[in-house]
A and B are shown apart, each in its own frame.
Chain A
C-alpha cells in the first residue's frame, strides 16, 4: 500500500509539472529551438556517454529494463551563461527541470515507464537598441523579443528482458507544448506608449522509438536506439499553422567495464534534421507575407547533426557506508539550426558523483557541465549544475 502511495505521488508530481525544459540558450531563437538532452543526473555527469545504458534517461527505451522495482526520478538544472558576440556580451542564468519519469515492472521481464523530457527548448530573449527619427526627433528604441516554452517529449516506454544479457524496448512519444512569443518596443520619449504584442503557438506531434541493449561479454555491453518522428504540427492562436518534418534519430553506444565499479562508455548519435529545412523555409515564407519569397530564398536551412560523448564512472570512495561513483565525461554535438550562415556546435566537460541514500531507496546524483556553444563570432559559455533524484519506494 505504501509503495503504491509513493508511486502515485511520483506519478502525479510528474504529470503536474508545468513545464519540462533544459537550460536555455540564446541560440534557441534559431529554427525550432535548442535541442533538449533527456538525461538523468548520472548520464549528464558523464557527458551523456552512459545515456543509452541509463534507465532514467529517455533516449533508449530498452534501458527501462534495468529497473527491478518501481522507481521515480527527476532532474533539476541551474545554468549560468556568458554570451558574447563581438562587442556585446551578457551574463544570463536560469533554472529548469528537464526530466521527470517513473517506471514499474510488470511481471518478471517487462518494465513500463513514462517520462517527460525537454525535446526543443524555445526559451530565449533578445534585446536590441537603436536610435530612430520619429516625428522629427531622435528617439531611442529598445526592442525586446522573447519566447517562453518549448516542446516536451512525453514517452510511454516498455522494455522486455529476453534474457539477462539482452533487452529490447519500444516507446511511443507524444510531442506537446507551446511557446508564448512576445515582442515589445519601448521609447526613450515618454510621449510614445510602449508597444507589446503576444502570440502563442501550440505544438503537437508523435514518434516511436526502438532500442536494444545487450551484453557482449563480461566486460562489454552495447546499446542502440532509433527514433522516428511524424511531422510536428504548430498552430498559432490566430489560426496560422504549419507542419515541419522531424528527424529520424539514430544512436549507438558501447560500455566497457573491466572490473566491478569501473566503467567507460561512448555514445554516437545522428539526427536527420535536414529534413526540416524545406518546411521551415516554407513556414518562413508564409509568415513573412509578400516579401517572403525573396527573403526566404536566403533563409538558412537546417542541417543533419552528429553528437558524440565519452565518459567514465568509477567507484572511488565510501560515504555513509556506500561506494560513491565519481563521473567525468566530455561531449560534443552539432546543432541543426545555423546562425547567420555559421553552423552551431556545442561541447562541454562534465563531472559529478552519486550518493546512495536511505538504504538504497534513493539516489542523489549531482554534477556540473562546463562548456560552450559557438556559431561564427557568437559564443555562449555555460556552467550548469544539476541534481538528479531517484526514488525507489
Chain B
C-alpha cells in the first residue's frame, strides 16, 4: 500500500507536460534539409472542354425577375391555385369584395424612381413553355389589371409590397378557368429597372392572392371570409442571352450552364504532399452577365465520374474552389483548386477523372454567368499557376 501511494505520488509529480518546440537558429540548430518552393505557370493543360445548358431553369429559381432594362428584359409569370368555391360544406362563396395581391421584393435597383409593377392578366392555363415573345401580346392595356407601387429604395430595399385590387378588375373568373387566375408582372420606372421577387421556391414571401369574399346567398353579407391562394406555377421569361458556346465556355445563369474542362497535368501538379497552391486562371470573353451589381461565385468543382453533361460532381464544395465575380466584370478569373489537385494525388484520388466542372456556386440562385475562353484561345486559354515544394531531403540518419 505504501509502495502504491508512493508510485501514485511519483506519477502525479512527474506530470505529462510536453512542449518541445524551440525557435530555430539556422544553420546551427536547423535541420540540414531545406524547403525549396517553386512557382510556375502551366499552359496548354486542357485537352477538351464543353458547355452544357439547362441544369436549373427559371421555374426552379427562388426568385421571379421583372426587368425593363436595355440588356435584361424579363416578365414574371404567376399561375395561382384554384380558389375554393366554399369555405365549408354549407356555405358557398357568393360575392367577392376585393382581391389583394402581395409580392415580396428580395432585391432591386436603387437608381430608378417611381417604380411600379404592372399586373396583366394572362390566360388562366397559359402554356408554361411560353417565351418572352409569346407573352408580349398579353401585355396590352386591355389586360392590365392594376399596378403595384414599389416604394423608393430609401424605404424599401427588400420586403413585402401589397396592392388591393378593386372590384371589377380581378374578381370575375370565367367559368372555364376553374377558379384559376394567372398574372404577368412587368417592371416600370423612371429609368430601366430590375426587381427580384421571391418565388414559390423561396422559403417565404411567395406571391399570394387574398380573396375577400362573402357567403351565398345574399343578403347574408355579414358572413365574410378571406381565402389565401399561392402560386401553383411561377417563373419568368426573358430575352435570351446571345452567348455562343462554340467559341466560349458558359457557366452560370438561368437556365444554368456548366462547362466541363478536362485537364492533362504533369506529375508535379498532382501531388498530395508538396502542392501548396494551384490557381486555375480563366479569361473572360465578355462582361459577366446577371442582375445589376449581382455578386456571385464561379466554382470549379471536382468530378467523380465523367459522363459529360451528366457528370457526377463532388457535393463538397471544398473539392474545388470558387472565385468572386460581379456583373460587368471582365478579365482574369482565378480559382484556387489546390485541394482538388491534392485529392488527385492521393491513392484514393488516383482513379478520379482529371476534370473540373465550371458552374455558379449558387446554381439557380441568381442570373450571374460568365463566358471564358476555351482551350483553343491561345494565350487566353485556361492555365494553371502552381506553387509547390520540391521533395524534401530528410537525410539518413
Chain A residues within CB distance 8 Å of chain B: 24, 26-27, 29-30, 32, 76-78, 80, 83, 85-86, 88-95, 123-128, 132, 134-135, 143-146, 181, 183, 185, 187, 191-197, 199, 201, 203, 232, 234-236, 240-242, 244, 280, 283-284, 286-289, 295, 339-340, 342, 355, 357-358, 361-362, 364, 366, 375-376, 378, 385, 387, 389, 391
Given known pairs A195-B389, A236-B394, the reply for A284 and B276 (CB within 8 Å) is no
Chain B contacts for A187, CB-based, 8 A: 276
**A356 to chain B: closest CB distance in Å?**
10
Q: Is the CB of A127 within 8 A of B32?
A: no
Q: Is the CB of A144 within 8 A of B338?
A: no
A-B contact pairs, 16 of them (CB 8 A): A78-B17, A88-B25, A90-B22, A94-B17, A132-B37, A134-B39, A134-B387, A146-B20, A146-B21, A183-B394, A185-B389, A287-B393, A287-B395, A387-B13, A389-B6, A389-B7
B3 within 8 A of A: yes
**Bound: A199/B396 CA distance, A:** 10
A-B pairs, 6 with minimum CB distance: A287-B395, A340-B28, A126-B24, A234-B397, A387-B10, A125-B21
**Bound: A241/B394 CA distance, A:** 12
Closest A residue to B392 using CB positions: A197
B277 within 8 A of A: yes
Chain B contacts for A283, CB-based, 8 A: 395-397
**Bound: A351/B275 CA distance, A:** 52
**Bound: A365/B39 CA distance, A:** 58
Q: Is the CB of B27 within 8 A of A340?
A: yes
Q: Is the CB of A364 within 8 A of B32?
A: no
Most buried by B among A80, A134, A191: A191
Contact of B32 among A85, A146, A287, A391 (CB under 8 A): A287
Q: Is the CB of A92 within 8 A of B395?
A: no
**Bound: A29/B62 CA distance, A:** 61
Q: Is the CB of B14 within 8 A of A76?
A: yes
**B13 to chain A: closest CB distance in Å?**
7
**Bound: A89/B23 CA distance, A:** 7
Chain B contacts for A289, CB-based, 8 A: 393
B19 within 8 A of A: yes
Chain B contacts for A235, CB-based, 8 A: 396
**Bound: A147/B28 CA distance, A:** 16
**A102 to chain B: closest CB distance in Å?**
16
Chain B contacts for A86, CB-based, 8 A: 25
Q: Which of B1-37 contact A (CB under 8 A)?
A: 2-3, 6-7, 10-11, 13-33, 35, 37
Closest B residue to A200 using CB positions: B394
**B10 to chain A: closest CB distance in Å?**
4
Q: Is the CB of B3 within 8 A of A128?
A: no
Contact of A192 among B31, B277, B396 (CB under 8 A): B277
Q: Is the CB of B37 within 8 A of A134?
A: yes
**B89 to chain A: closest CB distance in Å?**
65
B342 within 8 A of A: yes
Q: Which of B231-280 contact A (CB under 8 A)?
A: 273-277
Q: Is the CB of B23 within 8 A of A127?
A: yes
Q: Digitize B366-397: 1 where CB-to-A-CB distance is under 8 Å, 0 elsewhere.
A: 00000000000000000001010101111111
Chain A contacts for B29, CB-based, 8 A: 26-27, 29-30, 85, 126, 339-340, 378
Contact of B39 among A135, A146, A203, A340 (CB under 8 A): A135
Contact of B20 among A24, A85, A295, A340 (CB under 8 A): A24
Q: Is the CB of A125 within 8 A of B22?
A: yes
Closest A residue to B25 using CB positions: A85
Q: Is the CB of B6 within 8 A of A95?
A: no
B336 within 8 A of A: yes
Q: Is the CB of A378 within 8 A of B25?
A: yes
**Bound: A76/B10 CA distance, A:** 9
Given known pairs A191-B277, A339-B28, A387-B13, the reply for A126 and B22 (CB within 8 Å) is yes
Contact of A362 among B3, B37, B273, B389 (CB under 8 A): B3
Chain B contacts for A126, CB-based, 8 A: 21-24, 29-31
B121 within 8 A of A: no
Chain A contacts for B6, CB-based, 8 A: 355, 357, 362, 364, 389
Q: Is the CB of B397 within 8 A of A93?
A: no
B339 within 8 A of A: yes
Chain B contacts for A236, CB-based, 8 A: 394, 396
